[in-house]
Amino acid sequence: MQWLNRYSLSTKALLTGIMVGFLLWLSMDFLQKQQLDKLFNDELLTQLEYDSQSAQSHFYKAIEEHAKIVTLFAKQKSIVDFILANKPNSLPQSTPPQWVPEMITWRGLILPSAFILYDKNHQPIDQYNIYADETLPAMFTQDASDWLNASVKSPMLSQVDGNPALIVSAAIFYQQQVIGFITIFVRIDDHFMYSELAQDLSPGAIAVLFAKDTDTLSVLTSSDLVRAPKGALATNLQQSYLFGGKGLFDQGDWSLQAKLFILLPQGTKDHLAISVRHLERQQRFIAAIIFVAVFTLLMVLLSRRIQHISNSISRFAKNELDITLSQDLNVDAVANLQECFDKLSIEITESHYKLLLQHEMERKVDQLQILESVTDSLRVGVLERDAENWAILNSPMHQFVNDIGDISPFIVENSQQSLVDKSGERRIFTISHMETDTRSLILVNEVTELAIKTEELTKMALYDALTGLPNRVLFHDRLNQLIDCSKRNKETFSVLLIDLDHFKEVNDTLGHSTGDQLLFEVAYRFSQYIRSTDTFARIGGDEFAIILPHADAKTAELVAHKLVDAQQQPYQILTHAINVGASIGIVTYPDNGRVADLIMSRADMAMYHAKRNHFGFFFYQSEIDSSDQERLRLVADLRVAIQRKAISVYYQPQLHLESKTISGWEALARWYHTEHGWISPEVFIPIAEENGLINAISSIVLQQAILDCSQWQSAGQSGGVSINLSTRDLIDSQLTQKVALILAENQLGAEQVTLEVTESTLMQDPVKAKHELELLDKLGVSLSVDDFGTGYSSLAYLKHLPVDEVKIDQVFVKNIIADPSDAAIVRAVLGLAQNLKLKVVAEGVESKDIYQQLEHFGCDFIQGYYLAKPMSFDQLINFNINHIDTGELTTKG
């Protein structure tokens, strides 16, 4: 460093200032570059997250708008008329059919690619492609059962022919019945992504929809297919783009797991960062130059002053005593400089703090203005602590206080407050405290509408809309809570599962509105016997459940007795007096189970056991598990037998006592089980009725019996055929047409067929029964009342029905020899029937004595084992009866 000695003090000062300024500029450049990069990257990621949330909101909004419009379309008269006309157009259509909504309806939305109509069985009726050059995907031209119901409940995001698409459907109603469905199909392509999601994004950003397959994300579509092509993997794009996005879409029953990201090219970020750093470097360079200039000037001035003093001392040392020094000659120039520097430092520091204080004041004023502006626009009230009082800062807060009439309800801890305003209306506010170093604020936000909607949604999710009772979800939640509590406290409780008897018949005969009213009345009646601490819920259909906390078996039995007894009184629904019983299954904790699923399963077993055996209520016992499992297997086997048409039809003859000839044959369903052999009708017929299979069995018997009757009459055997109808058959509005069609197919006269209806079936809905019987009577078939005497009807009632005969139930016939009262009943029925000109068939004739007694009474026809057991068609062809003078009968064949 000896070479510096050649330069003057001023030059050294200049060089030192330049070097210090340069080093300061370099160090600040290095440090601030890292800070700027981090800050810039964080800001970009925040913006991307915001863009992603905004795009996802736009996406949901677009889906909701399409769903609303489709729901409105489903109500248009043109669509309902088209479906009712039932004239599907299978030809390609160049112009929109009349049922297609006008295109102006889609103003502001992405136009669907196609409109499709389905019937109520999910079969396509008609469709219209918006774009004639596109082919409608195959899934829309065939049975839509797999996906249509799901798209009605909620719009579906799915892959169609490998491309993402939005499928929106709505049910079409006519007279409160579903008659069809309308579906729109919207392609989620680059046009959709750009129009709906990408227009408001940051410059250079693109919206990309990814499909999630295990742990892999791949591009489905994007707003820029050049930069983000279909099929591209997210792991590859991450090398060139910044990603911003949230979780998977979670709305509706979507078959496609999709996730929306907003991508910003790394090049865009780097270009923006370089521009900012370049500007910042220029500013630091100018600052460094100013620093060097000022520093050098000070050093030069200081060095000159020191040089002046040094020269004066040198001249004085040479005895130049006449030198006149300046007034500050005796002042230490360096000390003076230090003093000046100190003063300058103090002044600069004071100025700096003044500037900081001024900046902080300006910042707080700006914040206050921003806070007031934001809260005004968001309708958020603001209170500020002022000494011991709270001051109102903005107009929304003034409005809230004026509406409520007092400020004190708002000065509470963080909470949600439900208040009543001056008009008596309920208002709900959220109150949040916000503390800073210098201020204490309270933010008041009115959430009345949101809170009420949240309460409504909660009620919809947890309570039954018809009865207002807790639903299955809330019931199971309370059951699990009670299990945990009872486990800790070692307590017991009971659960009652209730199913209404014959409720389905009420729905089928009187309509669903009557059924709904009946359920409401049942819920009200049962609730009179339930404590406030109990949980009474409707868990589906006509099933109810009750949780009795701290209740043992004895208490549960007492409640069950009350509920069963309460059902003895009929319900008056409009003009109908309806009797419905109740079957109750009872379980107790912990004896019958310690987990909710097992408790409910065993309650279900006990309830069905009570229903089958007409017990009213029944406590679960382990012995019923095996019998219930066997019954479930029989149900499954019966379904298979019906599908394979393995139900046989056997025939039992009816004898005309006066002519001693065969007058007809009763068709009887028989089932041969591959493992258990012949299953008694007393076993499988109730199973069929309980599980909705009786219609299918009736249809098999009806078709086979009419076919067989036609064949045996062609073969020379005498007698028509009698066929039993169930309750379900009698309420079928198509019954008469079905019978007429089968008769025509087999060329059999209607007079050869007798349709038998049980007495209890007639009494379930007398008006409906009379109407259907009149239609059958016009067809020409004979009508018979089966099991007469076991129900609620009378012969006086029967005279108003178009019946031709009655069948006396075998309960009365079997004991006419031993029981005078039964004999009297039979004679009374015979006498009244003859007066009403009705034929009488006596069932259950099993002995010669009964046969002769009935003949003596003047009975018209008999049927029973004394004549013959039920037989197959082949046996029937060869069957004959030879009457002997003594009254004995022999059977051959």
Answer yes or no: do 148 and 254 share one domain: yes
Q: Which of 480, 515, 481, 475 is nearest to 496 (CA)?
A: 475
Q: Which segment of 182-186, 215-219, 405-409, 866-870 scores lowest on mean pLDDT? A: 405-409
Answer yes or no: do 103 and 216 share one domain: yes
Answer yes or no: do 494 and 581 share one domain: yes
| pLDDT recorded at residue 330 | 45
Q: How far is CA 558 from the centre of its chain?
A: 37
Containing 678, the helix (H) or strand (E) segment is: strand 677-679
Is the pLDDT confidence value at 885 over 50?
no
Q: 222 near 193, Cβ under 8 Å?
A: yes
Q: Which residues contact 355 (CB under 8 A, 6 or more apart)?
A: none
Residue 386, φ and ψ in degrees, nearest 5: -130, 100
The pLDDT confidence band at residue 352, using thresholds 50, 70 and 90, is low
Instruction: Identify the sign of the CA torsion 502, 506, 507, 508.
Output: positive
pLDDT tens digits for range 167-194: 999 999 998 899 999 999 888 888 888 8
| pLDDT recorded at residue 883 | 46
Q: Exposed/middle/buried for 98, CB within 10 Å: 0-12, 13-18, 19+?
A: exposed
Q: How far is CA 744 from CA 714, 735, 776, 890, in A?
A: 16, 14, 15, 36
Is the pLDDT confidence value at 441 over 80?
yes
Task: Read off the CATH number of the domain in which 544 is found.
Answer: 3.30.70.270
Q: Which segment of 266-270, 353-357, 526-530 scores lowest on mean pLDDT? A: 353-357
| pLDDT recorded at residue 154 | 84
Token representation of residue 75: 């109500």
Is the pLDDT confidence value at 377 over 90?
no
Please report, rounded to a whole number, the percentage of residues in the chain having pLDDT higher than 90: 35
The pLDDT confidence band at residue 252, using thresholds 50, 70 and 90, is very low
In-domain check, residue 422: yes
Q: Fill in the DSSP letter of residue 199.
A: T
Q: Which of 367, 530, 372, 377 is nearest to 438 (CA)?
A: 367
Q: Fill in the DSSP letter of residue 111.
A: P
Is the pLDDT confidence value at 402 over 60?
yes
The pLDDT confidence band at residue 560, using thresholds 50, 70 and 90, is very high
**Residue with the two structure tokens 């909701």:** 64
Q: Which segment of 18-22, 275-279, 554-558 scores lowest on mean pLDDT? A: 275-279
Q: Exposed/middle/buried for 613, CB within 10 Å: 0-12, 13-18, 19+?
A: exposed
Is the pLDDT confidence value at 67 over 70?
yes
Is the pLDDT confidence value at 362 over 70?
no
| pLDDT recorded at residue 341 | 47
CA angle, 198 as apex, 196 and 203 as ends, to 5°? 155
Token representation of residue 639: 């379904």
| pLDDT recorded at residue 329 | 42
pLDDT tens digits for range 303-335: 776 666 666 666 655 555 555 545 444 445 455
Residue 57, SS3?
helix
Q: How far is CA 460 from CA 451, 468, 538, in A?
A: 14, 10, 13
Is the pLDDT confidence value at 251 over 60?
no
The pLDDT confidence band at residue 367, using thresholds 50, 70 and 90, is low
Mean pLDDT of the chain: 82
User: Is 0.85 topped by the overall pTM?
Assistant: no
Task: Provide the residue type at 865 as one letter.
Answer: Y
User: What are 892's strand-pairing partners?
Assistant: 880
| pLDDT recorded at residue 884 | 36
Residues 761-780, mean pLDDT to the nearest whole number: 84
Is the pLDDT confidence value at 510 over 70?
yes
In-domain check, residue 322: no
Task: Read off the CATH number of the domain in which 191 is found.
Answer: 3.30.450.20
Answer yes or no: do 164 and 234 share one domain: yes
Which of 543-557, 754-768, 784-798 shows the highest mean pLDDT?
543-557
Answer yes or no: do 166 and 224 share one domain: yes
**Residue with the two structure tokens 């390609």:** 92
pLDDT tens digits for range 270-283: 776 676 667 777 77
In-domain check, residue 144: yes
Of residues 437 and 431, more confidently modeled: 431
Is the pLDDT confidence value at 508 over 60?
yes
| pLDDT recorded at residue 768 | 78
| pLDDT recorded at residue 712 | 96
Euclidean distance between CA atoms 417 and 428, whole angstroms: 6
User: What are 415's strand-pairing partners?
Assistant: 431
In-domain check, residue 36: no
Residues of the domain holding 443: 379-454
Q: Which of 749, 644, 742 is nearest to 696 (CA)?
A: 644
pLDDT tens digits for range 71-106: 888 888 888 988 888 776 654 566 788 888 877 666
Provide the number of structural domains found in the chain: 4
Residues 485-497, mean pLDDT to the nearest whole number: 95
> Could you say which of 285, 312, 332 is where a domain stops?
285
- Ramachandran class of 277: left when φ > 0, alpha when ψ lies in -120 to 50, beta otherwise: alpha
Euclidean distance between CA atoms 392 and 378, whole angstroms: 16
In-domain check, residue 178: yes
Is the pLDDT confidence value at 370 over 60?
no
| pLDDT recorded at residue 307 | 66
| pLDDT recorded at residue 108 | 64
Task: Provide the residue type at 650 as one letter.
Answer: Y
Is the pLDDT confidence value at 773 over 70?
yes
| pLDDT recorded at residue 94 | 61
Residues 712-722, mean pLDDT to the nearest whole number: 95
pLDDT tens digits for range 575-607: 888 889 999 999 999 998 999 999 998 999 899
Answer yes or no: do 602 and 716 share one domain: no
List, edge to edge, every strand of the sheet that includes 241-245.
216-222, 206-213, 258-265, 241-245
Answer yes or no: do 651 and 537 share one domain: no
Of residues 561 and 215, more confidently modeled: 561
Answer yes or no: do 640 and 613 share one domain: no
Residues 622-646, mean pLDDT to the nearest whole number: 82
> Could you say which of 454, 480, 507 is where a domain stops?
454
Euclidean distance between CA atoms 654 and 841, whole angstroms: 8
Q: Which segment of 152-166, 424-438, 745-759 scores lowest on mean pLDDT? A: 424-438
Is the pLDDT confidence value at 803 over 80?
yes
Answer yes or no: do 77 and 194 share one domain: yes
Q: Exposed/middle/buried for 232, CB within 10 Å: 0-12, 13-18, 19+?
A: middle
Is the pLDDT confidence value at 714 over 50?
yes
Q: Which of 443, 448, 437 is nearest to 372 (CA)?
A: 443
Q: Beta strand 839-842 with 861-862: parallel, antiparallel or unpaired?
A: parallel
> Could you say which of 285, 310, 338 is where a domain stops?
285
Token representation of residue 410: 């708002």
The pLDDT confidence band at residue 347, using thresholds 50, 70 and 90, is low
Of residues 124 and 253, more confidently modeled: 124
User: What are 723's strand-pairing partners?
Assistant: 755
Task: Read off the CATH number of the domain in which 389 is found.
Answer: 3.30.450
The pLDDT confidence band at residue 872, using thresholds 50, 70 and 90, is very high
Containing 243, the helix (H) or strand (E) segment is: strand 241-245
| pLDDT recorded at residue 464 | 92
Answer yes or no: do 106 and 129 share one domain: yes
Euclidean distance between CA atoms 562 and 404, whole angstroms: 49
The pLDDT confidence band at residue 337, using thresholds 50, 70 and 90, is very low
Is the pLDDT confidence value at 657 over 90?
yes
Of residues 227 and 324, more confidently modeled: 227
Residue 889, φ and ψ in degrees, nearest 5: -120, 140
Residues 385-391, mean pLDDT to the nearest whole number: 72
Token representation of residue 533: 């601490």
Containing 519, the helix (H) or strand (E) segment is: helix 512-527
DSSP collapsed to 3 states, 115-171:
EEEEECCCCEEEEEECCCCCCCCHHHCCCCCCCHHHHHHCCEEEEECCEEEEEEEEE
Is the pLDDT confidence value at 859 over 90?
yes
**Residue with the two structure tokens 């520091």:** 349
Containing 673, the helix (H) or strand (E) segment is: strand 661-673
Token representation of residue 107: 């103003």
In-domain check, residue 660: yes
The pLDDT confidence band at residue 869, using thresholds 50, 70 and 90, is very high
Of residues 830 and 134, more confidently modeled: 830
Answer yes or no: do 443 and 481 share one domain: no
Task: Read off the CATH number of the domain in which 689 is found.
Answer: 3.20.20.450
In-domain check, residue 320: no
Q: Which of 883, 821, 878, 818 is nearest to 855 (CA)?
A: 883
Count of Cβ atoms closer than 10 Å to residue 243 Cβ: 18
In-domain check, residue 207: yes
Taken as a whole, the chain contains a residue count of: 893
Of residues 368 and 31, more confidently modeled: 31
Answer yes or no: do 803 and 735 share one domain: yes
